[in-house]
């Protein structure tokens, strides 16, 4: 793995030192092939990585680079064709459907590009929904306060702006106090200003709760807020960059 430095802005924050002994995710030779024979598509072609507790990772790559596939595997939505993938020493590669569901339920918070809120539930209820399945959920109000949504708790998704919806989605993701927050293009559908509020919420969760946050994006600017940046191309990690200081979200612009 390579590391490289980058310009540090005036009010940048130094990266926290990582405890590299005990990875949250540990992958070796991770591969995913869709289809068979001539129609086979190699979406991921041997990826090695270790993600650690409390870090904020950005997976950068163009469309088709394999970053979504990697996120699907990390999130337990799919199983690899080859290679090993462990979460806290638990083998995810060979876990069955029920095991993966349990993993998602207990450990992973998802944030989707299209928010994916339940339209028939209010902001508060969307977050409270997680309370039905989580072992030790946060009160919905607290989770919403963490993402800066103290008001508008009783609005339905259709009554909220895109940025607000995405922050509800983040509150929903963290309400179960997950160890991992996986964000798939969280700002993809948002303008810069609202995108920044969303990134700010993610950064705050990462900082205050110590949640491992993995953001996939094609927007290179966002990479500056990460501790480590993995660049994917053609199903492989082609570059790993460690930011000595993480740029404050407010300083990002695209």
Residues in touch with other proteins (CB under 8 A): 68, 71-72, 75, 77-78, 97-98, 101-102, 104-106, 108, 110, 112-114, 116, 118-122, 125-126, 128-130, 132-134, 156-159, 172, 176, 184-185, 188-189
Strand partners, 69: none
CB of 254 to other proteins, least distance (A): 18
> Would you say 22 or 254 has its CB closer to other proteins?
254
- Containing H/E element for 239? strand 236-242
> Would you say 184 or 224 has its CB closer to other proteins?
184
> Would you say 172 or 228 has its CB closer to other proteins?
172
In sequence order, the 6+-apart residues with CB closer than 8 A to the CB of 78 are 32, 69, 72
Specify whether the backbone of 234 is left (phi greater than 0), alpha (psi in -120 to 50) or beta.
Answer: left
CB of 51 to other proteins, least distance (A): 18
CB of 158 to other proteins, least distance (A): 4
60 in Cβ contact with 231 (< 8 Å):
yes
> Would you say 12 or 43 has its CB closer to other proteins?
43
Among the listed residues 217, 245, 243, the one whose alpha carbon sits nearest the alpha carbon of residue 231: 217
Question: Residue 206 corresponds to which tokens in the numbers above?
Answer: 């990462």
CB of 164 to other proteins, least distance (A): 14
> Would you say 174 or 247 has its CB closer to other proteins?
174
Helix (H, G, I), strand (E, B) or coil at 125: helix
Helix (H, G, I), strand (E, B) or coil at 233: strand
CB of 88 to other proteins, least distance (A): 16
Strand partners, 90: 87
């Amino acid at each position: 793995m390579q590391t490289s430095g980058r310009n540090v802005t005036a009010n940048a924050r130094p990266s926290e030192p990582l405890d590299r002994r005990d990875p949250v995710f540990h992958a070796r030779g991770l591969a995913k092939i869709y289809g068979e024979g001539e129609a086979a598509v190699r979406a991921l072609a041997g990826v090695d990585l270790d993600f650690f507790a409390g870090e904020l990772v950005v997976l950068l790559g163009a469309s088709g680079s394999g970053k979504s596939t990697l996120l699907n595997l990390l999130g337990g939505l799919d199983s690899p064709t080859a290679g090993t993938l462990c979460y806290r020493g638990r083998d995810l590669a060979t876990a069955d459907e029920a095991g993966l569901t349990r993993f998602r339920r207990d450990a992973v918070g998802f944030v989707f590009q299209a928010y994916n809120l339940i339209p028939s539930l209010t902001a508060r209820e969307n977050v409270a929904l997680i309370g039905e399945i989580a072992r030790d959920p946060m009160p919905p109000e607290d989770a919403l306060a963490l993402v800066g949504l103290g008001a508008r708790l009783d609005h339905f998704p259709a009554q909220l702006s895109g940025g607000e919806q995405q922050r509800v989605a983040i509150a929903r993701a963290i309400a179960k106090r997950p160890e991992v927050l996986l964000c798939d293009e969280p700002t993809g559908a948002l303008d810069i200003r609202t995108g920044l509020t969303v990134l700010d919420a993610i950064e705050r969760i990462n900082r205050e709760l110590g949640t491992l946050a993995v953001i996939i994006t094609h927007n290179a600017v966002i990479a500056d807020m990460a501790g480590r940046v993995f660049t994917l191309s053609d199903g492989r990690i082609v570059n790993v960059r460690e930011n000595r200081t993480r740029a404050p979200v407010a300083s990002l612009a695209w």
